[in-house]
Chains A and B, each alone.
Chain A
Amino acid sequence: MRKFLSLITCCAALLAFAPNAHAQGDFKIVVNAGNPISEMSASDVAGLFMKKVGKFPGGGPATPVDQAKNSAIRGAFARAALGRPASAVDSYWQQQIFAGGELPPAAKASDDEVIAFVKATPGGIGYVSAGASLAGVKVVTVK
């Protein structure tokens, strides 16, 4: 038992200094250009992307869209907007799926695909890199 605890402690100490795989890049929240909303609270954003609420604060139905699994921007978004690491978000969705709950937002492979989806979907909401071209969508300010 003591050997086991020592082994676990050593592993923890080594892993605590392992490099973080996720880059902490900036991102912007985007919605369809026809959406009247222009700012949202951080908890509203988290509620929509975790599908705890299905509507924008103004009342319109929301269709969140995610970025590709293991992408740096998804990791940064999870930490900054959802308040937890991407692995914890993945765990949350596994719980939802196997408990018969909500399914995770569809994942798009790039900023361009996210923009195209949001542009074509009246209730669409996504996040893209700070440097992405934002033509045809609207940036939402997070309070």
Chain B
Amino acid sequence: MRLHRLLLLPMLAATFLYPAAVTAQSIESPIEFHAALNTAVGKAKDLPIVGIPTYATFDYRTAMLQIRYKMNEHDQFVLQLLNRRLGNSPLQAAIPDVSMQWAYWQRRGSIGALKVGRAPMPRGIFNEIRFVGTVLPFFRPSFEIYGEGRETIDGAVFTRRQPLGRGVSFDISAFGGSNEVRTQVVTATGNSIRAFRGNNLKGVQGWLNLPFGETRVGGFYADYHINSDTARGTRGEILYSAESRLIPRTVVRGEALRVYGIGPNQDRKSYSTEAVATITEKFDLSAQYSMTDNRIFQRAPLLNVNVTATKDVAFGGTYRIGGGALVRLEHHRVKGYAFDRFVPLLTNVAGQPVIAPPSSGSYWLGSFAVSF
């Protein structure tokens, strides 16, 4: 990890200091460099959440460096290094500062494109671009849908676009392999960090692209086998997504996720909806509502617990300052049990365990993002 960090930081510095040279090179050279930085200052009120403490932290960012080598018209090799800091998040212990996020060979042919190696998992609207701050309405896509720490697939991804006529097309991605899963889970006794590999992973992501308002609707399914110290079995995920620009100067998105099976011993259902209004070419306003309902399975004689783990209402404004850079300010109001500090999920009433009232907190994030 130390070697990665030593390599990444000077390379990032060089690409940001000399973007013109790199861009000029990219037109003629088979090697292309791209980089993205999404760095923030955050402060929470009442309770720490998603790594943001009740005092301000600047230790909050993602930085990427992508290198592409175009071997010929059909083949390329892509490497991407990622530096991710999540403030005081307990998840940070399970996520390396610097990681080789992608390393894959890609071949494009007449029937589609094949990626082999460590590649982005085609999952929902944002997974493949989740660290590119310049294309996100908030610092990160909905935490309830995307979480942190499970973005890639080690294996193969095949993607094909099939025109269906009259401006309608269908994109299908099929993948198989294994992946890393790192999640922060609310349980009856506290927050738990789970880090393991999902093996025998297989899944699909389909998108139906419609000819009006750049509208598309999609579905994702994946299942994988967990074989860790604490769990053994199969977990499944289903994600429905929709995105539309039917309303002028506005993007509306909605996603619904279900995670079930072994591992968390939960049936988790998360929802997120957001709207982004382009006020001027430089300024956007964004609103987002996300929530997660958990059904936590417990061993007898304890009863299963149904609980709304999180509700997150967010508002934000983005100003594009030019040169591929922007600044963003966002505010999140969070209610539930998924905070970085333990809040009780159960309480005793007349000797019987019952669901405790949800706790409330809020946080601000001011961020700067640039990419090229």
How far does the alpha carbon of A85 sit from the alpha carbon of B284 in the complex, in Å? 13
- Chain B residue nearest to A106 in the complex (CB): B27
Interface 9-residue window, one of B128-136, B177-185, B288-296, B344-352: B128-136
| A98-B317 contact in complex given A18-B280, A91-B135, C-beta closer than 8 Å | no
Chain A residues within an 8 Å CB radius of B167: 43
Residue in A5, A21, A94 whose beta carbon sits within 8 Å of that of B371 in the complex: A94
Q: Across the interface, do B280 and A95 meet the contact criterion of CB distance under 8 Å?
A: no
Closest-CB distance, B53 to chain A (whole angstroms): 20
- Chain A residue nearest to B36 in the complex (CB): A98
Which applies to chain B's interface (DSSP): helix, strand, loop or mixed?
A: strand
Which applies to chain A's interface (DSSP): helix, strand, loop or mixed?
A: helix
Interface members, chain A 1-44 (any B CB < 8 Å): 1, 4-5, 8, 11-12, 15-16, 18, 20-22, 43
How far does the alpha carbon of A90 sit from the alpha carbon of B191 in the complex, in Å? 40
B84 contacts A by Cβ under 8 Å: no
How many Cβ-Cβ contacts under 8 Å join chain A to chain B?
Answer: 83
How far does the alpha carbon of A103 sit from the alpha carbon of B31 in the complex, in Å? 12
Chain A residues within an 8 Å CB radius of B115: 100
B285 contacts A by Cβ under 8 Å: yes
How far does the alpha carbon of A46 sit from the alpha carbon of B113 in the complex, in Å? 22
B269 contacts A by Cβ under 8 Å: no
How far does the alpha carbon of A107 sit from the alpha carbon of B28 in the complex, in Å? 11
Chain B residues within an 8 Å CB radius of A16: 279-280, 283
Size category of the binding interface on chain A: 20 to 34
Q: How many residues on B have C-beta within 8 angstroms of the other chain's C-beta atoms? A: 41
Q: Across the interface, do B119 and A100 meet the contact criterion of CB distance under 8 Å?
A: yes
| A11-B104 contact in complex given A1-B331, A43-B167, A99-B129, C-beta closer than 8 Å | no
Interface members, chain A 78-98 (any B CB < 8 Å): 85-88, 90-91, 94-95, 97-98
How far does the alpha carbon of A16 sit from the alpha carbon of B278 in the complex, in Å? 10
Bits for A62-73, please: 1 = Cβ < 8 Å to B, else 0: 000000001000
B353 contacts A by Cβ under 8 Å: no
B333 contacts A by Cβ under 8 Å: yes
B120 contacts A by Cβ under 8 Å: yes
Chain A residues within an 8 Å CB radius of B282: 15, 18, 87
Closest-CB distance, A123 to chain B (whole angstroms): 12
Closest-CB distance, A113 to chain B (whole angstroms): 11
Interface members, chain A 99-114 (any B CB < 8 Å): 99-100, 103, 106-107
Q: Across the interface, do B34 and A98 meet the contact criterion of CB distance under 8 Å?
A: yes
Bits for B254-286, please: 1 = Cβ < 8 Å to A, else 0: 000000000000000000000000111111010
Q: Across the interface, do B283 and A100 meet the contact criterion of CB distance under 8 Å?
A: no
Closest-CB distance, A44 to chain B (whole angstroms): 11
Bits for B35-71, please: 1 = Cβ < 8 Å to A, else 0: 0100000000000000000000000000010101000
Bits for B308-326, please: 1 = Cβ < 8 Å to A, else 0: 0000000101011010100
Chain A residues within an 8 Å CB radius of B278: 85, 88
Closest-CB distance, B117 to chain A (whole angstroms): 11
Q: Across the interface, do B32 and A103 meet the contact criterion of CB distance under 8 Å?
A: yes
How far does the alpha carbon of A70 sit from the alpha carbon of B20 in the complex, in Å? 14
B78 contacts A by Cβ under 8 Å: yes
How far does the alpha carbon of A11 sit from the alpha carbon of B106 in the complex, in Å? 44
| A90-B324 contact in complex given A18-B282, A100-B106, A107-B27, C-beta closer than 8 Å | yes
Interface residues of A (CB under 8 A from B): 1, 4-5, 8, 11-12, 15-16, 18, 20-22, 43, 52, 70, 85-88, 90-91, 94-95, 97-100, 103, 106-107
| 23 A–B pairs (Cβ distance < 8 Å), ordered by A | A11-B283, A12-B283, A16-B279, A20-B281, A22-B281, A70-B322, A85-B281, A86-B281, A87-B282, A87-B320, A90-B324, A94-B132, A94-B134, A94-B135, A94-B324, A95-B128, A98-B132, A99-B120, A99-B128, A99-B129, A100-B115, A100-B128, A106-B27
